Chain A
Amino acid sequence: MTVYLLCFALFLVGLYGLITRRNLIKIIISKSITEFSIFLILVLIGYIDKGLAPIVDPGTSQQIYVDPLPQAMVLTAIVIGLATTAMLMAIAIRLYRKYKTFDIREIKNLRG
């Protein structure tokens, strides 16, 4: 139970950074931290007691393996997270070129 609480604490750390930081790049890094905590929860869900890593060696007898499906889900989700982070970085760099600052209090053209 404590591992799930620690993952939730990581989620809260990332969420705090997402809400209170004012630098564009720090918001992106906090979003990454939040995403990683969700991946950790997903992998921990697939844990089975006394299970081994799910790699089958031919010739060994039947063993208990941990669940490989959440691991496949997390691989795909890591790649999706990489793509969104890369696109956010590109937009942040272009925003710096237009506004000459990374501060979100200056970038407020759209209101109402």
Chain B
Amino acid sequence: MDALIPLFIVIPLISAFLIMILGKLVKGFHRYFAPFTLLVLIAMTIIVFANLGGSSIQYAVGGWGLEKGIPVGIFMVLDAFSVLMLCIINLLGFIALFYSISYMAKYTAESNYYSLFCLIIAGMNGVVLSGDLFNLCVFLEVSVIASYALVAFGVGKTELEASYKYQILGSLGFMLILLAVGLIYWKTKTLNIADVRQVFEAGYNQPYYIFVQILLIAGFGLKAAVIPFHAWLPDAHSSAPSPISAMLSGVLIKAVGIYVIIRLFFNMFVFSHEIALVLTALGAISMVVGSLLAIVQWDLKRMLAYSSISQIGYVLMAMGMGILLLLKGNNEAAAILAIGGGIYHMINHAVFKGLLFLNAGAIEHRLDTRKLKEMGGLSSAMPITSTTSFMGSMSISGIPPFNGFFSKLIIIIAAINGRFYLLATLAVVVSIITLAYFLKFQRFAFFNKSANKALSKIREVPFPMSFSMIILATLCLALSLLAIPSVSELILRPAIDVLMQSDLYSTTIIGI
């Protein structure tokens, strides 16, 4: 099973370039080859997930292991947290790809689209599997550059402007990250995440340490769209084609933003109180401001994009609370709840935000509009879209028995147990505001009297699109089973363990 780890990156890379060569020669080749590649990746993910248990595997690329106890090569690490992210990336990638088989039929140059999509998947798999700081930066840029091209795919006025803004801010983020990696290398003379941890545990210079951490929060915050750095997200996620919006909002801001922040701040840096306060404050502000900005939107995809900012704020706030509780030392059960709630909300958000963006794409496919005031009365004309979007809206607002309720409940209970009463109140208030704007979406899109005279000509969307939406809606219900304690012990607890006890991460790699 060790040999499967580099294959997660190699298989989508080969498939991307094969599609580029053969897509123009053989007609329709790309439409079958790309979903086949992602099915192979899903099969590999299931094999790895079943065989992993609670251990972590590291893979020394090129055979360069440890020389006198110092890791000199590039290591790829697969542990319980990475395998959860791999499941989200590959599963959501397959569903978005299957959806785009019929959605992208009205665009030209389709083979470029499938090739770039495989490159995004390859880049994200690389970020999640890398145990090395610079390798992480390179794969991050691979997936982000492919997403710049995909946002601008249908070359209209709004898409180009959105892609330009996204690129400038994304490059600024990459520069800050590169500067931080350089400064870490300066003091520790190593780039391996576990080895940096060993050096920092021995002692560090306090002003330098805080400077590097602030640079990393700014750089990865630009990629993950936390509140002072969110300016590119509403434009980019609303102008992209809908399956790409689902991938960007559902997976990319998590795999290259929040995942890396969690991995570096739990497993690489020694916990520090000020930075944990900064993370919690940024998460809480994102939560509140994102939802307030989403209420006033009349463009459907822009409202969903602002709601993404709000839900990512939940995850970041939960992780910050986890660090603060671990630092206080006396309340470990609440810390486990907070970190577990954060990871669970990350998984849930990928599923229901992907579903909501695919619904918005289905409405746009049939009606050619994104403005809420021009839709109406679709619940009879498009029954599958209407039902699945109702399930998605109830999930994100936190209504039982859907999955959003359980993850938000766990975060609120952790906040109350840790005596963060202000954060718990904010979480409840934001959840009510979320319910408000999603009820607005449901009313204007599906249950209103239609102003559109041609309503009788609107039929349901084709089979690939409706199949993808039905699978995601079933997952919304099925993931609420993860809140049962015996199931979450099996799936979530190893991930929480590898984050909380960083000795588990670093000594497994160094082997001391």
Contacts and interface: CB of A to CB of B under 8 A. Distances in A.
B168 interface: yes
B164 A31 contact: no
A42 interface: yes
A83 B162 CA distance: 19
B141 A45 contact: no
Contact of B167 (A76, A88, A98): A88
Nearest to B238: A110
A95 interface: yes
B284 to A, nearest CB: 24
Contacts of A6: none
A29 interface: no
B138 interface: yes
B297 interface: yes
Categorize the interface residue count of chain B: 35 or more
Interface residues of A, number: 30
Interface in B66-91: none
Nearest to B181: A73
B98 interface: no
Contacts of B186: 45
A44 B13 CA distance: 34
B171 A31 contact: yes
A41 B179 contact: yes
B442 interface: no
A34 B158 CA distance: 27
Interface string A82-94: 0110011001101
The dominant DSSP class at the A interface is helix
Contacts of A77: 178
A17 to B, nearest CB: 12
A31 B239 CA distance: 24
A23 to B, nearest CB: 13
Contacts, number: 81
B409 interface: no
A94 B152 CA distance: 10
Interface in A42-75: 42, 45, 69-70, 73
A88 B182 CA distance: 25
B242 interface: no
Interface string B118-162: 000000000000000010001001000100110010011110111
Contacts of B138: 76, 80
Given A94-B155, A95-B160, A109-B161, A31 B185 contact: no
B163 A91 contact: yes
A87 B149 contact: yes
Nearest to B186: A45
Contacts of B161: 95, 107, 109-110
B162 A110 contact: yes
Contact of B171 (A41, A42, A45, A84): A84
A42 to B, nearest CB: 4
A73 to B, nearest CB: 6
Contact of B185 (A38, A69, A107): A69
A66 to B, nearest CB: 13
Given A83-B145, A91-B167, A99-B157, A112 B185 contact: no
Given A84-B145, A99-B157, A110-B235, A38 B179 contact: yes
A12 B158 CA distance: 31
Contact of A38 (B148, B149, B175, B238): B175
Contacts of B174: 80
B164 A70 contact: no
Contacts of A112: 234, 296-297, 302
Interface in B168-191: 168, 171-172, 174-175, 178-179, 181-183, 185-186, 191
Contacts of A31: 168, 171-172
Given A45-B182, A98-B157, A110-B239, A80 B175 contact: no
A74 to B, nearest CB: 9
Given A88-B167, A98-B157, 20 more contacts: A18-B168, A31-B172, A34-B175, A41-B179, A41-B182, A45-B182, A45-B183, A69-B191, A70-B185, A77-B178, A83-B145, A84-B145, A84-B171, A87-B148, A87-B149, A92-B164, A94-B160, A109-B157, A109-B161, A110-B158
Interface of A: 18, 24, 27, 31, 34-35, 38, 41-42, 45, 69-70, 73, 76-77, 80, 83-84, 87-88, 91-92, 94-95, 98-99, 107, 109-110, 112
11 contacts: A34-B175, A41-B182, A45-B185, A73-B134, A77-B178, A84-B141, A84-B145, A91-B163, A110-B234, A112-B296, A112-B302
* 6 tightest Cβ-Cβ pairs between the two chains A and B: A42-B182, A110-B235, A45-B186, A80-B141, A95-B160, A98-B157
